[in-house]
Amino acid sequence: MVPKVLVLRAAGSNCDFETKFAFDKAGAQTDLVHVNRLLSDDTKLDQYQILAIPGGFTYGDDISAGKILANQLKYKLAEKLNKFYRDGKLIIGICNGFQVLVKAGLLPVVDFMAEQSITLSNNDSGKFEDRWIYLNVNDGPCVFTRDIKKILYFPVAHAEGKFVPNDETVLNSLKENNQIVFQYISPHNGKTEYPDNPNGSIENIAGICDPSGRVLGLMPHPERHLDPTNNPLWTRKGLSGEGDGLKLFKNAVNYFLS
Mark whether 221 is an active-site residue.
yes
Closest C-alpha to 27, from 218, 253, 258: 253
Annotated active-site residue in 95, 129, 142, 158: 95
Annotated active-site residue in 15, 142, 221, 225: 221
Distance from chain centroid for Cα 134: 16
Annotated active-site residue in 15, 129, 160, 223: 223
Measured between alpha carbons, how far is 161 from 197 in angstroms, rounded to an integer? 10
Measured between alpha carbons, how far is 10 from 20 in angstroms, rounded to an integer? 14
DSSP characters over 71-131: HHHHHHSHHHHHHHHHTT-EEEEETHHHHHHHHHT-SSSS-TTSPP-EEEE--TTSS-EEE
Mark whether 242 is an active-site residue.
no
* Bridge pairing between strands 180-185 and 205-209: antiparallel
Mark whether 223 is an active-site residue.
yes
Closest C-alpha to 85, from 49, 116, 38, 39: 49
Count the residues in the chain.
258
Residue positions annotated with a catalytic role: 95, 221, 223
